A = this chain, B = another copy of it.
Amino acid sequence: MEIGFIGVGRMGKAMARNIMKAGHRVRAWDKSAAALAEIRKDGAQIATSARDAFGGDAVISMLPNDDIMRELFIDGDVLPRDGSATVHVNTATASVAFTEELAAFHAERRVPYISATVFGRPEMAAERNLNILAAGDPQAIERVQPIFDAMGKKTWRLGNEPRSSNVAKVAGNLMVACILEAMGEAAALARAYKMSPVEVLDIVVNSVFHVPIYRIYAGLIGNATYEPPGFDLMLGLKDAKLALEAGEDVHVPLPFASVLRDNYLDAIAHGDAGKDWSAIAKVAARRAGLES
């Protein structure tokens, strides 16, 4: 296939290379001449402008933020004005609100638009180890599937609304960031008690952070089935308090644990004391007006 590629930074470069390795042709553009020189060595054609790169079967974009995407695709002259058969596949983590705006603008210009955010860091992109979250017109996704296969190990399809890809990506990143903060709080607690944070995190990761546990909890929360409890909310509250007390004695603030405590109380005040502690998810839902 003939593929345009806009944005060949660390992520984009790794993805473009894999597309070429799979036998497709890439015509790349980037505002950095150095980035273009590098991808040219890998065999890509160099476009003279973003507008010039926007052609062929599909154009992949991987740009750093909303402002740059707005400048090119909405305020700029990159998008064809009279419709096109070229599918625009945006792999960047745009905001949900801006994705809606982009999708509407492409519809107006009659240019097929797919949002295809990815999970994976540059090393994983290089190893063709990305998870791709594709959302938008299913026929357009079907047409570019060979490109997704060239770039990632799995494509998840999330329906017709491009923004769904961004919601899932944003939610996933939030969860990883929460883990990092939680690890940080655990490491501070360990250090304050003169223990090795390496050792404590090692134990926890190897004991409890294995995939099956998360599959189980994701199922309980996703399906909202909190009974019978494996470990109930009152025990969850007790454990949150143990962490808070342990931190208090050695002067370690634990803001996540504080939020957990408040949420357990909220859950208990609403009659969920005897449900599984994953029922803390009901609090987030109720506060968003989602529990009837």
Tell me the A residues contacting B by CB distance below 8 Å.
65, 93, 95-97, 119-123, 131, 133, 154, 156, 158-159, 163-164, 166-168, 170-193, 195-211, 213-215, 217-219, 221-223, 230-231, 236, 238-240, 242-263, 265-266, 268-271, 277-278, 280-285, 287-290
Contacts and interface: CB of A to CB of B under 8 A. Distances in A.
Copies of this chain assembled into the complex: 4
Contacts of A191: 285, 288, 290
Contacts of A159: 195
Q: Which 8 A-B pairs have the closest CB atoms?
A: A184-B281, A269-B289, A198-B222, A258-B258, A253-B262, A178-B182, A131-B207, A251-B269
Given A174-B182, A182-B174, A259-B258, A96 B188 contact: no
B201 A284 contact: no
A179 B214 contact: yes
A119 B288 contact: no
Contacts of A198: 218-219, 222-223
A270 to B, nearest CB: 6
A259 B184 CA distance: 13
Given A163-B193, A207-B172, A246-B167, A181 B179 contact: no
Contacts of A254: 174, 262, 284
Contact of A255 (B236, B259, B282): B259
A190 B288 CA distance: 11
B249 A266 contact: no
A186 B133 CA distance: 16
Given A177-B277, A187-B222, A277-B177, A204 B172 contact: yes
